């Protein structure tokens, strides 16, 4: 086995690049995201062009210390000391480098694909093989054209086994991933209907997926799914499982639930074998059987497997951001700990600006493939990169390397119990705390001690979905068109700094809030983006100025008041945004007032016009397209008139969410993205384009059997036609579940079934008809999610999604997660 050492020159050779080389230094780290730089001096940055052209970030990456770049265009300006490796296709170069790296090792590489369950199966195989193998695996669900090469790059000489997942969404992609992974052993997880868009049918999808295994020696999967393939392929050894066919290698004959466990029985080599797993849901059971088959195929003894399967633990791929005690925010990532997922989590920590102190609680890291010294040296360097203020190390290895951590405020403990007994002294207050620990350290105990107890109704916000939605709209804009993200009304009910931090990190250009206090709250939480205030109140002008917020000016009255205030305080050139009324008749200067406005602007030095804008009344509806067009024309006239009068440039904008896709001609310099960010847009017909970001969940407090005709709730409004069961759930109109949903108008999901409300909605609770549903006290109840969306709720009570979202009261805890 060769230990691969790479330098600028050797990499240039491997990827066949034309090189502009200033030095031949060592390269150890691959980077593809300009916002995530680590180990800069030994890093190689790939200027990939996916949504945005990576070449445009080279200067930023250079400033962060990176000196070597793989590019597809000759640079206009050659930066001092920089090495450029010029290739025709940057992504292909990344893949070629990873494929080369892979070929340097002859460890057992397991390639995992399928429509669902890839990440779970990978993580469980890791848990099952860890006691006697040194394993390298894909971090999180790194399974894409970029994620796979980055995963494969992590192979080290000490590894015995590699577990890599491969995910595809179009024809042609698997061939490329196969060349990078080169799996000796293939595992096919469940082949469901997920991600069908890129394929004409199931057969085509299966064939494409099977390309991953074209040179594999052994293939594991479900008998029914591999059947057609097996006949065609004689050189590969198969290990199949089935519940129906006794010719399968593992023929599953029994599945009995015992409390929270499942007892599995199967025939293997003509003998009955068994195992217990701590899960009962169908998806987990199938994934567990896949893992069981894989270990048998690898030659493990049934008794050994059974003992390990019993200890499988849930796989949480998400980082959760929650409210903690003493004004802290807790980022909970206490299920796994390896250097790549640490990097992802630290990066998320870095985005958080709401508290002055950033804290990391970290356990020892296992199986990194690096020697201890090197490992903790790297970890220490990562901490410096994110600007950490406080470090708490748990575990003996970290303690041994405590001097590597260059942060004054540092503490070390041998184990979690020792930390917990010292938690008073650690005095957590106004901090963002990242919890990152290997499973055996049981950091969930720390999480329980630090996270605020929530009333059991929570709104979960999916931050990945938000980023997806932002990128969807960005893809509709010409280069250079700015995005103003509307975060008024608590980001349409979704949160304040949590959302703004993310938007700032993803480099939107502007934020907009409704009132000055909303802007102050964002500034206090560390948001530095420009912020426009739609409806500035004169009694808070001092805060407007102190917090550097930019007002909308919509009337002569406001113009006078604000300019008087600015003059009194000797302020000139204060940035303002002029609102033109082109038909909404809400706020704004009308056509007949523009001349007068221009005159005042020219005489008055208080203001600097930052932008001129208007608002469409019906951008989503074709019925009103003619009217929209008149609005656009009026707007053009107005801004031209102002431009001419004041003689300098400003930003022009008119489109809200629905206008972005429908009125491309009117993007001007900026668009104002509101509800689309939160996953709702009537003008977007492709259901896969936008993702709902919020789900609202509550739980059952009590279940009662009710006789036909008995009444339920206030004023005896509800009753059941037949004898049945009702469940009382912990949400009422004070939480934002309006009274209009009562008496069967609204429905919620219990155990996957839609059930209707019974009787009036009360302040803090309401009742559901759960007759015939296998529900029990404590069960989760979904008010809305991606199955029953907010559009559906809005329809039920005759309102619009905006109102549903913004009604959810502040009493309902928000939990943010990031996958
Ligand atoms: C709220 C608001 C928007 C955003 O509208 P969406 O339909 O949510 O995209 C845009 N501009 C102004 C002036 C607004 O008040």
At CA 331, angle to CA 326 and CA 336, rounded to 5?
Answer: 135
Q: Strand 237-242 relative to strand 218-222: parallel, antiparallel, unpaired?
A: parallel
pLDDT at residue 190 is higher than 90: no
Q: Is the CB of 667 under 6 A from ligand 1?
A: no
The rounded Å distance from CA 802 to ligand 1 centre is: 10
Q: Per the structure block, which two tokens stand in for 656?
A: 């809200």
> Contact at 8 Å (CB) between 807 and 736?
yes
- Half-sphere exposure (Cβ direction) of 234: Cα atoms closer than 13 Å: 0
- pLDDT for res 151: 96
- pLDDT for res 2: 46
> Contact at 8 Å (CB) between 116 and 64?
no
**Number of residues that make up the chain:** 819
Q: Tokens 């994110």 — which residue?
A: 386
The C-alpha atoms of residue 685 and residue 689 are separated, in whole angstroms, by: 8
Q: Is the CB of 677 under 6 A from ligand 1?
A: no
Q: Is the CB of 615 under 6 A from ligand 1?
A: yes
According to DSSP, residue 746 is labeled: -
Nearest to 191 by CA among 115, 289, 283: 115
pLDDT more than 70, % of the chain: 98
The rounded Å distance from CA 794 to ligand 1 centre is: 18
Q: Per the structure block, which two tokens stand in for 287?
A: 């994934």
Whose C-alpha lies nearest to ligand 1, atom 12?
Answer: 615
Q: Per the structure block, which two tokens stand in for 505?
A: 């990190």
Whose C-alpha lies nearest to ligand 1, atom 13?
Answer: 615
Q: Average pLDDT, stretch 134-157?
A: 93
Tell me the Ramachandran region of residue 265: left when phi exceeds 0, alpha when psi lies from -120 to 50, beta otherwise. beta
The C-alpha atoms of residue 406 and residue 402 are separated, in whole angstroms, by: 9
Nearest to 85 by CA among 15, 150, 6: 15
Environment class of 465 (CB within 10 Å of its CB; exposed 0-12, middle 13-18, buried 19+): buried
Atom index in ligand 1 nearest the CA of residue 514 equals 15
Q: What is the pLDDT of residues 584-603, one digit of tens each?
A: 999 999 999 999 999 999 99
The rounded Å distance from CA 559 to ligand 1 centre is: 22
Rg (Cα) of the chain, in Å, rounded? Answer: 29
SS3 448: helix
Q: Is the CB of 401 under 6 A from ligand 1?
A: no
> Contact at 8 Å (CB) between 658 and 434?
no
CA-to-CA separations, 150 to 46, 142, 359, 551, 768, in angstroms, rounded: 11, 8, 27, 45, 49
Tell the CATH topology of 105-309: 3.40.1190
Q: What is the pLDDT of residues 683-720, one digit of tens each?
A: 888 878 999 999 999 999 999 999 998 999 999 999 99
Atom index in ligand 1 nearest the CA of residue 484 equals 10
At CA 581, angle to CA 610 and CA 602, rounded to 5?
Answer: 45
Q: Is the CB of 190 under 6 A from ligand 1?
A: no
763: annotated binding-site residue? yes
Which residue(s) pair with 221 in the sheet? 240
The rounded Å distance from CA 588 to ligand 1 centre is: 14
CATH 3.40.50.720 fits 694-818, yes or no: no
> Contact at 8 Å (CB) between 562 and 587?
no
The C-alpha atoms of residue 526 and residue 432 are separated, in whole angstroms, by: 13
Instruction: Report the residue among 672, 675, 677, 791 best suited for mutation to probe ligand 1: largest number of ligand atoms under 8 A from its CB.
Output: 672
The rounded Å distance from CA 581 to ligand 1 centre is: 14
pLDDT at residue 767 is higher than 60: yes
Lowest-confidence segment of 211-225, 332-346, 450-464, 494-508 by average pLDDT: 332-346
Q: Is the CB of 358 under 6 A from ligand 1?
A: no
The C-alpha atoms of residue 559 and residue 606 are separated, in whole angstroms, by: 10
The C-alpha atoms of residue 758 and residue 726 are separated, in whole angstroms, by: 8
Atom index in ligand 1 nearest the CA of residue 673 equals 9
Tell the CATH topology of 8-91: 3.40.1390
- pLDDT for res 77: 82
- Given pLDDT bands bounded at 50, 70 and 90, which one contains residue 289? very high
Strand order in the sheet with 161-165: 135-137, 161-165, 108-113, 185-188, 218-222, 237-242, 250-258, 261-268, 271-277
Q: Is the CB of 511 under 6 A from ligand 1?
A: no
Catalytic residue among 366, 714, 751, 802: 714
Q: Is the CB of 534 under 6 A from ligand 1?
A: yes
Q: What is the pLDDT of residues 214-262, one digit of tens each?
A: 999 999 999 988 887 777 777 789 999 999 999 999 999 999 988 778 9
At CA 623, angle to CA 617 and CA 627, rounded to 5?
Answer: 45
Nearest to 189 by CA among 256, 297, 274, 288: 288
Phi, psi dihedrals of residue 106, rounded to the nearest 5° = -115, 50
CA dihedral over 90, 95, 97, 98, signed as positive or negative: positive
Say how far residue 490 (Cα) sits from the centre of its chain.
19
pLDDT at residue 335 is higher than 80: no
Instruction: Report the residue among 482, 486, 681, 805 best suited for mutation to probe ligand 1: largest number of ligand atoms under 8 A from its CB.
Output: 486
| 358 assigned to active site | no
- Given pLDDT bands bounded at 50, 70 and 90, which one contains residue 279? confident
Quick one: angle between helices 497-505 and 339-351, nearest 10? 110
- pLDDT for res 194: 53
User: Does 694-818 match 323-453 at the fold level?
Assistant: no
Whose C-alpha lies nearest to ligand 1, atom 15?
Answer: 534
Q: What is the average pLDDT value for the chain, to the nearest integer?
A: 92
CA-to-CA separations, 590 to 84, 184, 584, in angstroms, rounded: 55, 71, 10
The rounded Å distance from CA 622 to ligand 1 centre is: 18
> Contact at 8 Å (CB) between 511 and 530?
yes
586: annotated binding-site residue? yes
> Contact at 8 Å (CB) between 591 and 642?
no
Whether the predicted model's global pTM rises above the 0.85 cut: no
The C-alpha atoms of residue 101 and residue 95 are separated, in whole angstroms, by: 10
The rounded Å distance from CA 612 to ligand 1 centre is: 15
Lowest-confidence segment of 200-204, 413-417, 653-657, 702-706 by average pLDDT: 200-204
Q: Is the CB of 653 under 6 A from ligand 1?
A: no
Which residue(s) pair with 188 in the sheet? 113
Whose C-alpha lies nearest to ligand 1, atom 4?
Answer: 674
Q: Is the CB of 582 under 6 A from ligand 1?
A: no
The separation between the first and the last C-alpha atoms of the chain, rounded to the nearest angstrom, is 35
SS3 545: helix
- pLDDT for res 197: 64
Q: Tokens 């970001």 — which residue?
A: 693
Q: Strand 357-363 relative to strand 390-394: parallel, antiparallel, unpaired?
A: parallel
The C-alpha atoms of residue 125 and residue 252 are separated, in whole angstroms, by: 19
- pLDDT for res 730: 95
Q: What is the pLDDT of residues 11-39, one digit of tens each?
A: 999 999 999 999 999 999 999 988 888 88
Q: Per the structure block, which two tokens stand in for 166?
A: 């491969």
pLDDT at residue 313 is higher than 90: no
Atom index in ligand 1 nearest the CA of residue 552 equals 13
Atom index in ligand 1 nearest the CA of residue 657 equals 9
Please name the residues in contact with 249: beta carbons below 8 A apart, sequence gap of 6 or more.
238, 239, 240, 241, 268, 293, 296, 297
The rounded Å distance from CA 672 to ligand 1 centre is: 6
Q: Which CATH number fits domain 479-678: 3.40.120.10, 3.40.50.1820, 3.40.50.300, 3.20.20.10?
A: 3.20.20.10
| 714 assigned to active site | yes
Whose C-alpha lies nearest to ligand 1, atom 10?
Answer: 656
pLDDT at residue 558 is higher than 80: yes
The C-alpha atoms of residue 100 and residue 410 are separated, in whole angstroms, by: 41
Please name the residues in contact with 371: beta carbons below 8 A apart, sequence gap of 6 or more.
none
The C-alpha atoms of residue 376 and residue 190 are separated, in whole angstroms, by: 38
Q: Per the structure block, which two tokens stand in for 653?
A: 């904008």
Say how far residue 672 (Cα) sits from the centre of its chain.
22
Q: Per the structure block, which two tokens stand in for 725?
A: 């069961």
- Given pLDDT bands bounded at 50, 70 and 90, which one contains residue 802? very high
- pLDDT for res 221: 95
The rounded Å distance from CA 656 to ligand 1 centre is: 5
Q: Is the CB of 656 under 6 A from ligand 1?
A: yes
- pLDDT for res 1: 38
Catalytic residue among 488, 579, 652, 697: 488
According to DSSP, residue 540 is labeled: G
Q: Average pLDDT, stretch 735-758?
A: 96
Q: Per the structure block, which two tokens stand in for 402?
A: 């405590």
Q: Tokens 């079934």 — which residue?
A: 753
Tell the CATH topology of 323-453: 3.90.190
Q: Is the CB of 674 under 6 A from ligand 1?
A: yes
Q: Tokens 């630290």 — which residue?
A: 346
SS3 238: strand
The C-alpha atoms of residue 386 and residue 408 are separated, in whole angstroms, by: 15
Q: Per the structure block, which two tokens stand in for 328?
A: 């802290």
At CA 409, angle to CA 407 and CA 411, rounded to 5?
Answer: 105
pLDDT more than 90, % of the chain: 77
Could you tell me where the DSSP H helices lie in 414-548? 416-421, 423-426, 444-450, 463-474, 488-493, 497-505, 516-524, 541-546
Tell me the Ramachandran region of residue 628: left when phi exceeds 0, alpha when psi lies from -120 to 50, beta otherwise. alpha
Q: Per the structure block, which two tokens stand in for 580?
A: 């033109």
SS3 386: helix
Domain spans, the chain: 8-91, 105-309, 323-453, 479-678, 694-818
Please name the residues in contact with 655: beta carbons below 8 A apart, sequence gap of 6 or more.
616, 619, 663, 666, 667, 668, 671, 672
Q: Average pLDDT, stretch 489-514?
A: 94
Could you tell me where the DSSP H helices lie in 3-57? 8-14
The rounded Å distance from CA 741 to ligand 1 centre is: 27
Whose C-alpha lies nearest to ligand 1, atom 6?
Answer: 674
According to DSSP, residue 761 is labeled: -
The C-alpha atoms of residue 176 and residue 621 are separated, in whole angstroms, by: 43
- pLDDT for res 170: 85
Lowest-confidence segment of 203-207, 477-481, 544-548 by average pLDDT: 203-207
């Amino acid at each position: 086995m060769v230990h691969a050492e790479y330098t600028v020159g050797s990499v240039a050779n491997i990827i066949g690049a034309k090189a502009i080389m200033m030095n031949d230094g060592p390269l150890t780290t691959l980077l593809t995201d300009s916002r995530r730089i680590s180990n800069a001096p030994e890093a190689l940055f790939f200027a990939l062009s996916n949504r945005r052209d990576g070449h445009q970030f080279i200067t930023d990456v250079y400033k962060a210390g990176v000196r070597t770049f793989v590019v597809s265009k000759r640079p206009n300006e050659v930066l001092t000391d920089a090495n450029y490796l010029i290739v025709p296709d940057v992504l292909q170069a990344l893949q070629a480098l990873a494929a080369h790296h892979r070929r340097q090792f002859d460890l057992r590489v397991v390639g995992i694909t399928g429509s669902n369950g890839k990440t779970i199966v990978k993580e469980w195989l890791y848990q099952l093989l860890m006691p006697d193998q040194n394993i390298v695996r894909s971090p999180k669900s790194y399974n894409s054209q970029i994620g796979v090469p980055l995963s494969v790059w992590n192979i080290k000489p000490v590894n015995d086994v590699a577990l890599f997942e491969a995910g595809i969404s179009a024809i042609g992609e698997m061939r490329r991933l196969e060349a990078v992974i080169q799996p000796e052993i293939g595992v096919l997880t469940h082949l469901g209907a997920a991600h069908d868009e890129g394929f004409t049918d199931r057969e085509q999808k299966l064939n494409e997926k099977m390309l991953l295994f074209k040179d594999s020696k052994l293939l594991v999967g479900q008998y029914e799914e591999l059947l057609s393939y097996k006949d065609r392929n004689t050189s590969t050894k198969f290990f199949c499982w089935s519940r129906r066919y006794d010719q399968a290698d593992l023929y599953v004959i029994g599945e009995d639930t015992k409390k929270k466990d499942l007892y599995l029985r199967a025939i293997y080599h003509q003998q009955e074998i068994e195992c217990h797993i701590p899960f009962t849901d169908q998806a987990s059971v199938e994934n567990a059987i896949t893992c069981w088959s894989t270990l048998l195929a690898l030659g493990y003894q049934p008794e050994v497997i059974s003992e390990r399967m019993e200890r499988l633990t849930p796989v949480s791929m998400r980082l959760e951001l929650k409210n903690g005690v003493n004004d802290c925010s807790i980022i909970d990532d206490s299920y796994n700990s390896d250097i790549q997922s640490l990097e992802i989590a630290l990066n998320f920590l870095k985005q958080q600006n709401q508290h002055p102190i950033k804290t990391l609680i970290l356990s020892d890291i296992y199986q990194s493939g690096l020697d201890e010294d090197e490992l903790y040296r790297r970890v220490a360097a990562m901490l410096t990169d994110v600007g950490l203020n406080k470090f708490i190390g748990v575990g003996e290895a970290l303690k041994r390397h405590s001097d590597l951590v260059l942060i004054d405020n540092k503490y070390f403990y041998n184990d979690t119990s020792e930390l917990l007994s010292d938690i008073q002294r650690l005095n957590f207050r106004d901090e963002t705390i990242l919890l990152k620990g290997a499973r055996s350290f049981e950091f969930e105990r720390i999480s329980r001690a630090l996270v605020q107890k929530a009333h059991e109704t929570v709104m979960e916000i999916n931050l990945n979905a938000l980023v997806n939605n932002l990128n969807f709209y960005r893809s509709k804009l010409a280069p250079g068109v700015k995005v103003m993200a509307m975060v008024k009304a608590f980001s349409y009910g979704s949160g304040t700094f949590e959302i703004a931090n993310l938007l700032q990190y993803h480099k939107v250009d502007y934020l907009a809030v409704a009132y000055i206090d909303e802007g102050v709250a964002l500034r206090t939480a560390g948001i530095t983006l420009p912020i426009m205030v739609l409806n500035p109140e004169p009694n808070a002008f001092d805060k407007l100025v102190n917090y550097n917020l930019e007002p909308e000016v919509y009337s002569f009255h406001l113009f006078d008041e604000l300019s008087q205030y600015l003059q009194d305080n000797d302020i000139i050139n204060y940035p303002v945004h002029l609102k033109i009324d082109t038909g909404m008749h809400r706020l704004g200067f009308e056509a007949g007032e523009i001349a007068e406005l221009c005159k005042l602007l020219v005489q008055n030095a208080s203001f600097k016009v930052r932008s001129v804008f208007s608002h469409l009344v019906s951008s989503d509806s074709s019925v009103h397209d003619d009217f929209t067009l008149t609005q656009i024309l009026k707007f053009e006239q107005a801004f031209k008139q102002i431009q001419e009068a004041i003689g300098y440039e400003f930003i022009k904008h008119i489109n809200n969410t629905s206008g972005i896709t429908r009125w491309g001609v009117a993007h001007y310099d900026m668009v104002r993205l509101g509800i689309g960010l939160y996953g709702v847009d009537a003008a977007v017909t492709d259901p896969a384009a936008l993702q709902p970001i919020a789900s609202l969940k509550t739980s059952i407090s009590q279940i009662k059997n009710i006789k036909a005709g008995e009444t339920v709730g206030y004023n005896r409004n509800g009753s059941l036609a037949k004898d049945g069961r009702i469940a009382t759930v912990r949400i009422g109109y004070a939480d934002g579940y309006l009274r209009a949903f009562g008496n069967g108008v609204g429905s919620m999901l219990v155990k996957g079934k839609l059930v209707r409300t019974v009787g009036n909605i009360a302040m803090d609770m309401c009742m559901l008809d759960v007759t015939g549903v296998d529900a029990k006290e404590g069960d989760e109840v979904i008010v809305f999610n991606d199955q029953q969306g907010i559009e559906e709720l809005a329809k039920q009570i005759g309102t619009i999604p905006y109102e549903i979202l913004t009604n959810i009261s502040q009493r309902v805890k928000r939990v943010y997660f990031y996958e």
